[in-house]
Amino acid sequence: MANKTAFILNGPNLNLLGTREPEIYGRDSLADIEKACREKAADLGLAVEFRQTNTEGTLVDWVQEAGSKGAGLIINPGAYTHTSVALLDALSAIDIPKIELHLSNIHAREEFRQRSVTAPAANGLIMGLGAAGYGLALDALAALIDRV
């Protein structure tokens, strides 16, 4: 596959990483995570489109763009994980490898956070490993892209 672009999309409030509940989400900022992702992706021979939005419709648009321009997708849907059928539909509509990612273990959180409505559209899930999960997701995504 000639296209080796990994879209890494981040949902609501992830722009506050490093300051928002660091006991849950860690002390790495989103900029720290982006830098680490770009370095890891380069080692894997991948280009990166790294984005964050607090707006559901924008996230849906970006998922659709990833489907047409990307080789694979890593998505941390944030709170939309638990509520967004629109995001599930967008993820289901694209035919590229997809990894859903969460910094915390959603199954160890409040009851309303324990269900992911978006997970059925993903090839795999990584959760509970903090910022390190992004690097692991890139490893997994690279392997899935290579199988396509």
pLDDT of residue 2: 57
- Token pair recorded at residue 59: 């996230």
Task: Please tell me the distance from the alpha carbon of residue 89 to that of residue 81, in angstroms, as a whole number.
Answer: 12
What is the spatial distance between Cα 91 and Cα 98, in angstroms, rounded to a whole number?
Answer: 8
* pLDDT one-digit tens code per residue, 53-74: 999 999 999 999 999 999 999 9
Q: What is the pTM of this model?
A: 0.93
C-alpha–C-alpha distance, residues 93 and 88, integer Å: 9
Residue with tokens 């849906």: 60
Which residues participate in catalysis according to the annotation? 25, 102
Domains of the chain from N-terminus onward: 5-147 (3.40.50.9100)
Per-residue pLDDT for 1 more than 70? no
pLDDT in tens, 74-106: 999 999 999 999 999 999 999 999 999 999 898
Of 51, 46, 34, nearest in space to 2 by CA = 46
